Amino acid sequence: MPSENHIKIYNTFNKRLDIIYPDSDNTIKIYLCGVTVYDKSHIGHARTIITFDVLRRYLLYKKYRVIFIENFTDVDDKIINKAKEQQISSSKLANINIKQYFKDFNSLNVLKATKYPRATKHISEIQDLISKILKKKYGYVTTTGIYFNVKKFSNYGKLSGKTIEKLKSGIRISVDDEKQNPVDFALWKFSNEKPNWSSLWGNGRPGWHIECSAMAMKYLGNSFHIHGGGNDLIFPHHENEIAQSESVTNQNPASIWLHTGLVNIESNKMSKSLGNVVSVDKILELFGPNVIRLYVISSHYRSPLNYNEKTVMNAVTNWKLIENAISELQSTINLNSNIKNLTKTLKTEFLNIEKALDNDFNIPLSLGAFMRIIKLINRTASEGKLSINFKKTFEKKLTKIMDIYGFKLPYVTKLEAKEIEMLIDKRTKFRLNKQFNEADQIRQILNDKKIEITDYPDRVVWHKTT
């Protein structure tokens, strides 16, 4: 059973903290709007996907069952235009970038979604939903496509606050004179250009918004728990999803609409036109997965996140502290020590972690408590008071918290560990015999293997770095 402590999270729809209530079978259903695969994924995508990954991990930690759907938009004008530039098919371009996506986010230790639906694999569901919208007279057909009649949907703008009147006042020229209202959006675009699909109305391809409504309905039903993405999706994407889904089902698709803040690069908006887009594969190469995860979750999910060298280097420093604490815990040899006061402090901090995550998913506040635990372990180790008793009491709990954040330490096989221990023993003997050149050579061999060592008067502690 889940914890009696409810998880409250900010709902963009009603601008308040709402409790996440599971279904009667203890299930929580989440739909995350995924990437449009016309290029590699970037740090903005990583921010949203890692945030939702930590949320999912925390729900699993709380013993909920989670169904997590994350789509790929694999048909879109951006994809078609980019494919033309590269002189390949749009499907080939999409497949290349989806393959890169899995490489990047597997490296970032992101849990696999329950399902990754692709728009091009759900054309029949999309067309069926459009038919229902037309039947209820919320849509209409022109010579260029099928459009949703925004004026017919009386509550349009209830997510974003962008009413029809406000939107119309910002429009100077209508891009399609056949539209009944300049703010009406496309459900189906007529086109004989590939990729396209046949339909009752004519050859064409789906609009952007309709795909998510159709796929969410198929895998999660007419109404589910959480629908999310970056806050740049609030309007028009999620606003339009609500309109087209609710026009058919008379239900808001999600109980909670959850959005993450955008990522700025050196305080500037990240954009292709500025040439400051930072790809996930690039930052993985520079910093590794744990540092990126730590950097991303060090800022509250709703706040803007600024990407620069200073903010990432703070994460580098903190990750080294974490690595050291874990290695200290794993290599402790002391049999006994009085841990009564430590036990009380650490239990309080573990409780603080959960309290922070339960209250608007405040990961930075929870990280503050986590880092206090890490520093306490390092300090206790440096004082020679870290014991096996301490390890047995706290290692399992610490591992669970590490898993919530998605941190993953490099795996070392028994054979590798034996080889490392032999090298460390050789180095220790060289140092005792004052053969420091030979000792330094072995240290360099260990460095090349990404093994970091810390010397103490009575022992050497080592760990593999990422």
Residue 47 pLDDT:
97
Separation CA 453–CA 69 (nearest Å): 42
Residue 355 pLDDT:
97
pLDDT in tens, 66-75: 999 999 999 9
The domain defined by 8-260 carries CATH number 3.40.50.620: yes
User: Exposure pattern of 56-65 as b/e (b: 16+ CB <10 Å)?
Assistant: bbbbbbbebe
Task: Classify the phi-psi angles of 275: left when phi > 0, otherwise alpha if psi is within -120 to 50, otherwise beta.
Answer: left
Closest CA to 367 of 381, 378, 377, 356: 356
Q: Tokens at residue 24, please?
A: 């009667």
> Which is more confidently placed, 340 or 70?
70
> Which is more confidently placed, 336 or 163?
163
pLDDT in tens, 368-397: 999 999 999 888 888 877 778 777 778 889
CB of 20 closer than 8 Å to CB of 256: yes
> Is residue 452 scored above 90 in pLDDT?
no
Separation CA 261–CA 281 (nearest Å): 21
Residue 380 pLDDT:
85
What does the mean pLDDT of the chain come to? Answer: 91
Residue 3 pLDDT:
47
pLDDT in tens, 199-224: 999 999 999 999 999 999 999 999 99
Separation CA 302–CA 48 (nearest Å): 10
> Is residue 423 scored above 90 in pLDDT?
no
The domain defined by 309-405 carries CATH number 1.20.120.640: yes
Domain limits, the chain: 8-260, 309-405, 414-464
> Is residue 2 scored above 60 in pLDDT?
no
pLDDT in tens, 63-109: 999 999 999 999 999 999 999 999 999 999 999 999 999 999 999 99
Residue 224 pLDDT:
98
Question: Distance of CA 81 to CAs 75, 207, 234, Å?
Answer: 11, 16, 25
> Is residue 335 scored above 70 in pLDDT?
no
Rounded percentage of the chain residues whose pLDDT exceeds 90: 69
Separation CA 281–CA 286 (nearest Å): 9
CB of 359 closer than 8 Å to CB of 8: yes
> Is residue 160 scored above 70 in pLDDT?
yes
Residue 310 banded pLDDT, cuts 50, 70, 90: confident
Residue 138: how many other CB atoms lie within 10 Å: 21
Phi, psi of 224 (to 5 degrees): -135, -170
- Pairing mode of beta strands 254-260, 224-230: parallel
**CB neighbour class for 169 (10 Å; exposed up to 12, middle 13-18, buried from 19):** exposed
Helices 388-405 and 43-61: angle between axes, nearest 10 degrees: 130
pLDDT in tens, 228-256: 999 999 999 999 999 999 999 999 999 99
Secondary structure percentages of the chain, helix, strand, coil, to 5: 50, 15, 35
What DSSP letter does each residue of 122-142 carry, written as one string? -HHHHHHHHHHHHHTTSEEE-
Residue type, 238: H
Question: Average pLDDT, stretch 319-331?
Answer: 87
Residue 4 banded pLDDT, cuts 50, 70, 90: low
DSSP state of 91: H
pLDDT in tens, 262-278: 999 887 878 776 778 89
DSSP state of 279: B
Closest CA to 143 of 113, 177, 106: 177
> Is residue 170 scored above 60 in pLDDT?
no
